[in-house]
Amino acid sequence: MSDVELVSIPGLWAFNYNYFAGANASRFFNELKVNRRIMGTRCPSCERVLVPARGFCDACMEYTTDWKAVGPEGTLETFTIVATQFPGLPKPPLVMAYVTLDGADTALINLVYGMDLSDIDAAAQKLNKLPRVTTRFVDDPKGRITDFSFQLL
């Protein structure tokens, strides 16, 4: 069998989908679009304000109750600086981080702007000191998580 010419058959997955965000995430997205604010929901059991908003607390198995606006400022908790291009993903360099917005108990992920990335190691040292950030909205919010990003203060 060692001299057999091996066959490989080309394949392509290109299925179209529409991901249903559900009523809670839809309200979160509408708040971004209409009021340009970031909302969390409170768990009545552990009392954490969960951001981004969701309909239940998976740790306590309870429905969340009141909605609360958080931020716009917050603390950058942990980050990475993407330095290599991967197919189908955004062009580097870029900073992606978890930020706990003021008034929130959980962190949410987004891109961070306002860093000089010409020296990545130096930028990393700065980012690993819990820097403060603020939320910056795009000019024309669409009701998506990409309507905002974080800006270093």
Sign of CA dihedral 29, 34, 38, 39: negative
Q: Does 82 bind another protein (CB under 8 A)?
A: yes
Burial 26-52 (b: 16+ CB within 10 A, else e): ebbbebbeeeeebbbbbbeeeebbbbb
Q: Return the residue of 35, 65, 102, 109 that touches another protein, per CB under 8 A.
A: 109
Structure tokens belonging to residue 21:
């965000």
CB of 2 to another protein, least distance (A): 9
Q: Return the residue of 119, 121, 139, 140 that touches another protein, per CB under 8 A.
A: 121
The residue with tokens 């360099």 is 93
Q: Return the residue of 63, 65, 83, 153 that touches another protein, per CB under 8 A.
A: 83
Q: Return the residue of 51, 70, 115, 152 that touches another protein, per CB under 8 A.
A: 51
CB of 98 to another protein, least distance (A): 5
Q: Does 23 bind another protein (CB under 8 A)?
A: no
Contact 135, 73 (CB under 8 A): yes
Single out the residue of 130, 125, 72 nearest to residue 97, CA to CA. 130
Q: Which residues bind another protein (CB under 8 A)?
A: 1, 6, 8, 11, 13, 17, 19, 21-22, 25, 48, 50-52, 58-59, 77-84, 86-90, 94, 96-98, 100, 105-111, 120-121, 124, 127-130, 144-146
